[in-house]
């Protein structure tokens, strides 16, 4: 004999015979889980910017680290004012 159970509005409903973990797994089956590659892209872009800066400013009297500092400040300002947003 089945006894009706009161359900609250915020409480998630489950299919009969399944657990909460199984229901979450079923809901996430269609979504792809990929690792975040942002740190890798950051390192690659930083190395490319450093190599390009070294190549372009080979004969400059300004030290390499100062040029990188100024480039970093410039990129930071552009990012702060949302000039680098793609979306």
Over the stretch 2-29, which tens digit does the pLDDT of each residue have? Answer: 555 555 555 555 555 555 555 555 555 5
Structural domain that includes position 86: 61-87
At residue 19, the pLDDT reads: 59
Reported pTM: 0.55
Confirm whether 77 is domain-assigned: yes
The pLDDT assigned to 51 comes to 96
How many separate domains does the chain show?
Answer: 1
Q: How far is CA 74 from CA 14, 23, 52, 54, 61, in A?
A: 53, 48, 16, 17, 20
Please provide the size of the chain in residues. Answer: 87
What are the pLDDT digits (tens) for 45-68?
Answer: 999 999 999 999 999 999 999 999
34 lies in a domain?
Answer: no
Domain assignment present for 7 = no
Whether the CB-CB separation of 17 and 2 falls below 8 Å is answered with no
């Amino acid at each position: 004999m089945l006894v009706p159970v009161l359900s609250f509005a915020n409480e998630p409903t489950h299919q009969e015979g399944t657990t909460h973990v199984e229901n979450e797994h079923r809901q996430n089956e269609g979504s792809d889980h990929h690792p975040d590659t942002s740190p890798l892209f950051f390192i690659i872009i930083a190395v490319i910017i450093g190599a390009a800066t070294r190549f372009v400013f080979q004969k400059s009297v300004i030290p390499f680290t100062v040029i990188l500092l100024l480039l970093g400040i410039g990129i930071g300002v552009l990012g702060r004012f949302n000039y680098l947003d793609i979306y």
